[in-house]
Amino acid sequence: MKWAGRGWACAMAAVAVVAATPVGAQELSEKATRTFMEYAWTLTPERFTKPNGETILIDKTNRDAVLVPLDVAREVIRAGRLSAHAQVCGLAQEQGENHESLMRRQVQSKKWSPQQMVYINQLHLTVVMLLTGRIKLVERPDNPEAAKAAGADAAKEVVVAEEAQKAAQTCSAEQKTKVKEMIAAYVKTGPALASNGAAAAAPAAAPAAAPAATK
């Protein structure tokens, strides 16, 4: 994924805005939403194998058939942000329930194709990984020598790499309680969660594997 100098700055600003947004905030700008959608699309695999063995093929040449509307993406990003807070606070069970509730809501709506369900899952995962330091965004010039000669405004490639050292993240007792309460409220207003056995059969409910680091 390539960004010009100004585009790169805007993209990084969008990530910073989401990371700094309080856990209870609801609204996200269109620019920030589209930035995360673009990252998620870049990381969406060409094929996804569900826990039951079914394989879903993703047509990477037809993004319009895979991406979801902006308002739905905002909902997914909000859920991803909440999952990220749960992970930082060590709330593994609540994190899983939050993700499952999101996916079951989308399944229950019966609006999305299997490809779109994979994308929704990937968008959630991308937000979690970015906000918890699981992955990072780095600049990599196509041609280092040419880029150096052209200066800072040369087009650069955004690649995803695993963090060697995760930034220290803290969660106070008050924050932990708030995250638990918010997830409980979110889950309560959604469809009933499945048992562990049935959850494995839910379409695209299992998180996609984290992308390998780009070298």
Q: What is the pLDDT of residues 71-110, one digit of tens each?
A: 999 999 999 999 999 999 999 999 999 999 999 999 999 9
Q: What is the percentage of the chain residues whose pLDDT exceeds 90? A: 49
For all residues of the chain together, what is the average pLDDT? 76
Confidence of residue 160 (pLDDT cuts 50, 70, 90): low
Distance separating the N- and C-terminal Cα atoms of the chain: 15
Q: Residue 198 pLDDT > 80, yes or no?
A: no
Q: What is the pLDDT of residue 50?
A: 87
SS3 50: coil
pLDDT of residue 114 exceeding 60, the answer is: yes
Which one has a higher pLDDT value, 21 or 91? 91
Q: How far apart are CA 81 and CA 77, in angstroms?
A: 6
The structure tokens listed for 20 are: 């700094």
35-38 contacts, C-beta under 8 A, 24 or more apart: 35/10, 35/11, 36/73, 36/77, 36/123, 36/126, 36/127, 36/130, 37/67, 37/73, 37/123, 38/1, 38/11
